Structure 1
Amino acid sequence: MYDYLVVGAGLYGAVFAQEAKRAGKSVLVIDKRPHVAGNIYTEKIEGIHVHRYGAHIFHTNNKQVWEYITQFADFNRFTNSPVANYKGELYSMPFNMYTFNKMWGVVTPEQAQKKIEEQRAEIQGEPQNLEQQAISLVGRDIFEKLVKGYTEKQWGRDCKELPAFIIKRLPVRLTFDNNYFNALYQGIPIGGYTKLVERLLEGIEVRLDRDYLADKSNWDAMARKVVYTGAIDAYFNFQLGNLEYRSVRFETEVLNIPNFQGNAAVNYTDRETPWTRIIEHKWFEFGKDEHGNELPKTVISREYASEWKPGDEPYYPVNDEKNSARYQAYQALAQRESHVIFGGRLGEYTYYDMDQVIAAALERSRQELA
């Protein structure tokens, strides 16, 4: 019998398994997919590490997390500087002096601030929906061109129908700084995320193509305790109803040219373009392979936001009142399962950045293994 059965070979499961192994525990990791690394899985195509389930850029201000994860991979110096394409007009993201200069022709921070203040003034009182909230933060011009269409595609609803809290704040920088994240540590693991997770799982038994929920009682009998990183509502056979998600569909293609868009991420912010963004994966590693050679081809992925339905890949929890209440009810059920640890994005029904996943797994493993 194993000490721990870890269900899911993504980042949370891999970190917990690594810590359990270090503590001298016996661990079995299973995953229903044919590969490890969960949604951060990267596969090599034409010498390029392609982010199969969407772009993942590691960023953190947590020194402890950074020092932990860099034991398992070296990271490059990639800085996320996305570009917004509105009907062929290109703008810098996040909103900064390059954006304001292109939008209004202003050249000083004072001029930009004045323009934003003028446009924000149209919203009086407490914003009642996402549209009003966004205008109260950045003004109508930026809302119309760079927020509205993108957000409506992401959520499948008009901005007037979306709650204000979704956009609590929009970063506005009165500097010429294109770095999207305010993070001290940032980069992409050299060799890809799959290699990173494989290092975390070194020396640990892993079985792929194994569906835990399809044979739950047999799997449970194999270990003293289960670490479950799948969807919490699926664990309880949806007895309180489905938790809702937004999903994403990807169309990936290899192009016989060296450079498609000159940037890792370009967001398409008009409503008419069906995809939300295009990722050109080679630019996460500066267009070169591990030996520093220029790559002659490129791989792009168009991303389409979609309503989630059972069977689709769940990406973003819909943390509205109804779903939050339903999750609380599932959490109450989970607390009765004394032999099971629920963790990760799906197990906790929360949107985690990668550093938060690592921090949560480290904290939970310390509590458990102390």
Structure 2
Amino acid sequence: MIDGTAVISEIRVAISNREAIATFPPTDHRSDPVAQPRAAHWRGKVAAPPKCHRRQSGQTRSVRYPRQPMTPCYDLFVVGSGFFGLTIAERVATQLGKRVLVVEKRPHIGGNAYSEPEPQTGIEVHKYGAHLFHTSNKRVWDYVRQFTDFTGYQHRVFAMHNGQAYQFPMGLGLVCQFFGKYYSPDEARRLIKEQAAEIKPEEAQNLEEKAISLIGRPLYEAFVKGYTAKQWQTDPKELPASNITRLPVRYTFDNRYFNDTYEGLPVDGYTAWLKNMAADERIEVRLNTDWFDVRDELRAASPDAPVVYTGPLDRYFDYAEGRLGWRTLDFEVEVLDTGDFQGTAVMNYNDLDVPYTRIHEFRHFHPERNYPTDKTVIMREYSRFAGNDDEPYYPINTEADRALLAAYRARAKAETASSKVLFGGRLGTYQYLDMHMAIASALNMFDNVLAPHLRDGKALVENNDKESIRG
């Protein structure tokens, strides 16, 4: 990966339509023959974007014209600076040599992956909830390691029920602890099968019955019922059986939360990683800017530039078909006068009488760091339905939502054809995407849609990447 010598890179950040140069050091990297850096893109001042006001034929350089405000021209607009948007911007800038403007509504880069140090302790806090990077997609893994090194962190979760902490997800450790004796893998399988026989899966009329048919009533009552009710603000008896298709039980003592080949956390944090993705001099990031406030001016100045839109799909069309349903999260951050609050990074709270769904303790994500020994930072997480002004996190995806989505997808396809707008990312496609899935989807859009268009002049086509986001 990248030589260990730190260099200062500069990106152009336009804040509230006022341009400013922001500097930051990229992550130090080790030498890696697989993913060599483009160190030159991290050095030197950012070149001013070309102006769309051009010198007319026959004019000479000695001729002077009155100064007039001019809008820079770009080859591509990206709306949103999460992993999908930044992957698109980075590929188009570095692989095609094109100028890209990234428009971000928030005051910071990175979407929901943004992290920042808590002021009192310096502990890195994931502002929008814990983000754990994992993938089995080697192309994605090789790609992201151009911008950051990763720690050896492996995510493990515990679940609190009736004052007792259990290994989670459900596996032999939880089964033996919960039922108070040792079970071999075969014995545990027989136990779960016997308890699940109460209800046949094909006869389940609601989520509760479906869950019992998969794992049995005792485990359902302890670890699924209350947690699901809090997540969905609905009794599981009132939720459709189709909401779940499987509840996996591992018949081993492996309690890693993820089974992917590659896993870890960025050594210097998520924000450093994200800034490194935007460090190329041909990428401009404009913060505190609503795309819909500047769209007409920007597109008029660069009429040939396509748009990659990663904001809410229904918002783009001014909710013409209705609003898609989302879940949102609320967070309470607290600094405590103790060196360790819960002994693990994430503790789920499965009982209904506890209002929050989990507690994050961020110091455990980076045990290699020199954090204070007398203070810690925790974050309580609450789940609820999103209102019109809330940050959308998880698509609800009811039958009504799916009908709306079909209508919006038809509109999106027409918009791609008529206005050169592509839709991507979690919000832009109304699907939950882990970070590695968003990156894989963006790489696929670049390969199959944007590169052929920007490089070869081929028409834009709808991006169909169901297979590409796996892993």
Shorter-chain TM-score bucket reads over 0.9
Which consecutive segments of 4 or more residues in structure 1 shift more than 3 A?
Answer: 292-296
Distance 2:200 2:396 in 1: 28
Match of 2:198 in 1: 122
Match of 1:254 in 2: 335
The one-letter code matched in structure 1 to 2:221 is E
> 1:210-225 counterparts in 2 under 5 A?
210-223=289-302, 224-225=305-306
Distance 1:295 1:186 in 2: 27
- Residues 196-218 of structure 1, C-alpha deviation per residue, up to 9 Å, x if partnerless? 11010002211100011234322
User: What is the CA-CA distance between 1:366 and the residue it aligns to?
Assistant: 1.2
Cα distance change of structure 1 residues 255 and 97 upon mapping to structure 2, 3 Å threshold: same
Cα distance change of structure 1 residues 91 and 247 upon mapping to structure 2, 3 Å threshold: same
- Residues 197-242 of structure 1, C-alpha deviation per residue, up to 9 Å, x if partnerless? 1010002211100011234322333441111110010011111100
Distance 2:275 2:152 in 1: 22
Q: Residue 220 of structure 1 contacts residue 226 of structure 1 at CA under 8 Å; is this kept in 2?
A: no
- Residues 234-270 of structure 1, C-alpha deviation per residue, up to 9 Å, x if partnerless? 0111111000101100001111211000111000000
The 10-residue stretch of structure 1 (108-117 or 227-236) with the greater mean CA deviation from structure 2: 108-117
Distance 2:201 2:348 in 1: 31
The one-letter code matched in structure 2 to 1:77 is G
Residue among 351, 355, 361 paired with 1:270: 351
Structure 1-normalised TM-score?
A: 0.96
Q: Residue 137 of structure 1 contacts residue 169 of structure 1 at CA under 8 Å; is this kept in 2?
A: yes
Match of 1:30 in 2: 103
- Residues 321-357 of structure 1, C-alpha deviation per residue, up to 9 Å, x if partnerless? 1101101111111112231111100000000011110
The one-letter code matched in structure 2 to 1:85 is M
User: What is the CA-CA distance between 1:4 and the residue it aligns to?
Assistant: 0.6
2:177 aligned with 1:102: yes
Tell me the secondary structure at the aligned position of residue 318 of structure 2. coil
The 10-residue stretch of structure 1 (160-169 or 55-64) with the greater mean CA deviation from structure 2: 160-169
- Residues 52-81 of structure 1, C-alpha deviation per residue, up to 9 Å, x if partnerless? 001111111111111111111111111111
Match of 1:369 in 2: 451
Residue among 111, 114, 117 paired with 1:44: 117
Q: Residue 363 of structure 2 contacts residue 371 of structure 2 at CA under 8 Å; is this kept in 1?
A: no
Tell me the secondary structure at the aligned position of residue 381 of structure 2. strand
Match of 1:347 in 2: 428
Match of 1:111 in 2: 187
Q: Please report the RMSD computed on the Cα atoms of aligned residues, expressed in angstroms.
A: 1.3
User: What is the CA-CA distance between 1:293 and the residue it aligns to?
Assistant: 5.8
User: What is the CA-CA distance between 1:193 and the residue it aligns to?
Assistant: 0.9
- Residues 144-178 of structure 1, C-alpha deviation per residue, up to 9 Å, x if partnerless? 01111001101111111112232211221111111
What percent of counterpart residues are identical? Answer: 47
Match of 2:86 in 1: 14
Match of 2:230 in 1: 153
2:159 aligned with 1:84: yes
Residue correspondences, number: 367
Which structure has the larger Rg over C-alpha atoms?
A: 2
The one-letter code matched in structure 2 to 1:179 is R
Distance 1:100 1:226 in 2: 51
> 1:177-188 counterparts in 2 under 5 A?
177-188=254-265
Distance 1:219 1:100 in 2: 59
The 10-residue stretch of structure 1 (158-167 or 214-223) with the greater mean CA deviation from structure 2: 214-223
The one-letter code matched in structure 1 to 2:389 is G
The 10-residue stretch of structure 1 (247-256 or 32-41) with the greater mean CA deviation from structure 2: 247-256
Q: Residue 106 of structure 1 contacts residue 112 of structure 1 at CA under 8 Å; is this kept in 2?
A: no
Distance 1:140 1:84 in 2: 17
Tell me the secondary structure at the aligned position of residue 382 of structure 2. strand
- Residues 300-335 of structure 1, C-alpha deviation per residue, up to 9 Å, x if partnerless? 110000111101000000112110110111111111
The 10-residue stretch of structure 1 (3-12 or 221-230) with the greater mean CA deviation from structure 2: 221-230
| Runs of 5+ unmatched residues, structure 2 | 1-72, 453-471
Q: Residue 199 of structure 2 contacts residue 209 of structure 2 at CA under 8 Å; is this kept in 1?
A: yes
Q: Residue 159 of structure 2 contacts residue 168 of structure 2 at CA under 8 Å; is this kept in 1?
A: yes
- Residues 75-98 of structure 1, C-alpha deviation per residue, up to 9 Å, x if partnerless? 111111100001211111011111
2:146 aligned with 1:71: yes
Q: Residue 250 of structure 1 contacts residue 303 of structure 1 at CA under 8 Å; is this kept in 2?
A: yes
User: What is the CA-CA distance between 1:183 and the residue it aligns to?
Assistant: 0.6
Q: Which has the higher contact order (CA 8 A, sep 6+)?
A: 1
> 1:209-248 counterparts in 2 under 5 A?
209-223=288-302, 224-248=305-329
The one-letter code matched in structure 2 to 1:10 is G
Q: Residue 159 of structure 2 contacts residue 349 of structure 2 at CA under 8 Å; is this kept in 1?
A: yes
Q: Residue 201 of structure 2 contacts residue 210 of structure 2 at CA under 8 Å; is this kept in 1?
A: no
Match of 2:462 in 1: none
| Runs of 5+ unmatched residues, structure 1 | none
- Residues 16-43 of structure 1, C-alpha deviation per residue, up to 9 Å, x if partnerless? 0000101111101110100001000001
Match of 1:3 in 2: 75
The 10-residue stretch of structure 1 (150-159 or 218-227) with the greater mean CA deviation from structure 2: 218-227
Distance 1:125 1:44 in 2: 47
User: What is the CA-CA distance between 1:294 and the residue it aligns to?
Assistant: 5.8
Residue among 113, 132, 136 paired with 2:213: 136
Tell me the secondary structure at the aligned position of residue 186 of structure 1. strand
Tell me the secondary structure at the aligned position of residue 414 of structure 2. coil
